[in-house]
Amino acid sequence: MKNIFLITLFILISTTLISFADDVKFINALKNCSSYSETGNINTEEMNVNSHKQILGWENDRCVYKEKVNFSGTDSCMVCKFNKSQINEIVNVMKAYNTVQMYSPQEIDTSSYEAVKNNPVVKVWGKYLQDSSVCTLTTN
C-alpha cells in the first residue's frame, strides 16, 4: 500500500513539474537558485491536485527546492537540496523540452503514469526525487 502511495505521489509531483517545463521564470529561478513561489492546480487521473512550489535559495552549497502537494485529503511535502551540477542537468532538460514543445502541435498529456513515464522532464526530476540523498518526503 505504501509503495502505491509513493508511486502515485511521484507521478503527481512529476506531472506538476511538466507543467512548469515551459515556465521561463521557474527555469531561470532554478538555474540561479533565486527565490520563487507558485501555486497551481492540476487534474490527473480524476484527482484534483493542489501544488505549491518554492525555490528557497542556497543553503551552504545546495539549492533548496520545496513542493507541497495535496490530493485526496493527503498533504505531502518534498524537499530537495540540489548541487550546481544537478541544477544544470534539470535546467538543460527543461529548456530542451520547452524548445521541442514550442514546435509540437500536440498538447501534453498528463492524465496517467503511462502518459508521462517517458517524458524527459519526468525522468530527470524522477532521478532526484527518488534519491533520498537529494530529496526527502514527508506525508501527513
What tens digit of pLDDT does each residue of 51-78 get? 888 999 999 999 999 988 887 777 888 8
Q: What is the dihedral of CA 15, 18, 19, 21, to 10 degrees?
A: 160
Residue 137, all three cell numbers: 518526503
pTM (2 decimals)?
0.79
pLDDT tens per residue across all 140 residues of the chain: 444 445 455 555 655 565 554 578 888 999 999 999 988 776 655 667 778 889 999 999 999 999 888 877 778 888 999 999 999 999 998 888 777 767 766 666 555 556 666 677 778 888 888 889 999 988 77
Mapping DSSP to helix (H, G, I), strand (E, B) and coil, where does residue 112 land?
A: coil
Residues in CB range of 60: below 8 A, 6 or more apart:
none
